Structure 1
């Protein structure tokens, strides 16, 4: 979760200033570990208000907190198989403090939260932007692996729907911290050197390669958790996302060591750009 709201707000403000963006609305997401999700059957003939009232009643059975301390939303997924009078409703809830801390960080950065999503659902939606870049059929098992600064998230999808999600503490900050420790740099200097170069020749062998090996091991471990708790024993393709996906050669290393076709996600490939960009 966000611990230093002011620091995050300042970082957002700096990023906006450097980008020159005039946008005032933003989307954020809460981590899956802080969210309770449940698919519940409900009557198909309920109108919008009736459905919302019934969801509130049903939610109280599954949420271990007072309902007035929770932010929740729902989505109708479709009819219940073999029972057209019922629909499947996806309920998602998180403590309101988890939502408000993200809203506060955005506000300190000069933005207004338009949407607060769930990370796993946001990744599922983003996956649709890269589906045509994959070399496997639509019903294949695809492991979307997001390696961020401090967390690595595995989201396994089939038919563009998430069927499994798991988080693990591991990310690019560990590489940055090692660069700081080994070369006596500040956090900002280490982050810049990591992206732009300028580190000693020993960096590749002594620092970067061990980190890449650790990254492969972490992804392999996440996949093993998935295999152990499901009917599957392999995925058809791995899609890398997050800052660490840009590390040179990491996709090839993962593919070689885990034996699974691996690509780096490019969600901007089909995006139209202004002539000024």
Structure 2
């Protein structure tokens, strides 16, 4: 499987796999309107995904098969995503040249920009735009790389599940696609994607990634802190995490003592994550020399922590909102609007993957 399939125009099921949940979404497009066809999710088997890699493909495949059977998925093609430190994303400038020459130069120079040998990664790139710098024409290039071993683990799990993996995407790109116009601002906007094991920071302008960084703190990190501090199972801790109410000025605390205790337990981890996000944005300003970011969008399971948007707005000095990927038609008898809105942060990646399958972008 080559990550060049990032641009493959198929219509598969979007399958998002983290160490916490496996989510399947199928969409269609009728008369120019997107429509949710099918949706299913289940907890990831404990220990089956570690550091972004599927270490037990058989268990993951069995869970995918179970979701498909229960929800009645029929499509046999799939698109999935990698994220965190597993996906290396760089925006690089090269002297303007022909597409053939650019390809040769990018492949020859790639090892300077990724922390792995080129022979050990699946590599893809896309020319973004031609800009003038120091009086010379240069081509901006988006470079994406993922370790072959990691890609192979996803390919194995999805193949064992009886599906054909037709494309591999990057989770943050999928979420940006799901959020649509919100990410196409001509001003820099930062997407903070808090997945199971990592938080991915992506600054985008005009829908194009300008800066990416992965922080090794995710919703599973918070859940583990809760499990240890409250002496509960990890499954219980995840459920508590999803009901967390963070203390912010003027907001009512939770009336559940267990949730209140959990909010106290995660303070240190939340402080660490907030600091790392601040450092990431400061580095972006210093290295890129661009205008201040004034807007941030949250997604991923971590965004389910109530008042996280207000907390980050206070400490980052930004306008922060929870991303809404539910910009499509759906059968409310099967998928109540309240359910989709509540689960939106968790569903965003799979929705973006499914949209990619329908729209081919």
Task: Compute the TM-score of the two structures, normalised by the length of structure 1.
Answer: 0.76
Distance of 1:23 and 1:10 partners within structure 2 = 17
- Map residues 123-202 of structure 1 onto 2, 5 A cutoff: 123-131=175-183, 138-195=185-242, 201-202=256-257
Give how far 1:239 is off: 0.8
Computed over aligned residues only, the root mean square deviation of the Cα atoms, in angstroms, reads: 3.5
2:182 partner SS: helix
**2:183–2:189 contact (8 Å) kept in structure 1:** no
Matched, 1:243 2:301: yes
Counterpart residue number, 1:218: 273
Hey, what does 1:55 align to over in structure 2? 103
Shift of 1:210: 4.3
Distance (Å, rounded) in 2 between the aligned partners of 1:196 and 1:184: 17
Unaligned runs of 5+ in 1: 133-137
Which secondary structure does the structure 1 equivalent of 2:298 belong to?
Answer: strand
Residues in 2 aligned to 1:11 and 1:55: alpha-carbon distance in whole angstroms: 39
Q: Distance in 1 between matches of 2:178 and 2:226?
A: 32
State the partner residue of 1:256. 314
101-110 or 184-193, which deviates more: 184-193
Offset at residue 236 of structure 1 (A): 0.4
| Pair 1:5-2:56 in alignment | yes
- 1:135 alignment partner in structure 2: none
Tell me the equivalent position of 2:126.
75
Change (3 A) 1:66 1:149: closer
Aligned 1:107-122 pairs, distance under 5 A: 107-122=159-174
Deviations 1:96-125 (A, max 9, x none): 222211212222344322211234443443
**Residues 173 and 144 of structure 1, relative CA distance in 2, 3 Å threshold:** same
2:260 corresponds in structure 1 to 205
Match of 2:329 among 267, 272, 277: 272
Cα distance, 1:179 vs structure 2:
3.7
Cα distance in 1 for partners of 2:224, 2:89 equals 33
* Structure of higher RCO (CA pairs closer than 8 Å, 6+ residues apart): 2
Cα displacement (A) at 1:245 = 0.6
Aligned residue pair count? 262
**2: CA distance, partners of 1:189 / 1:130:** 34
- Matched residue SS, 1:43: coil
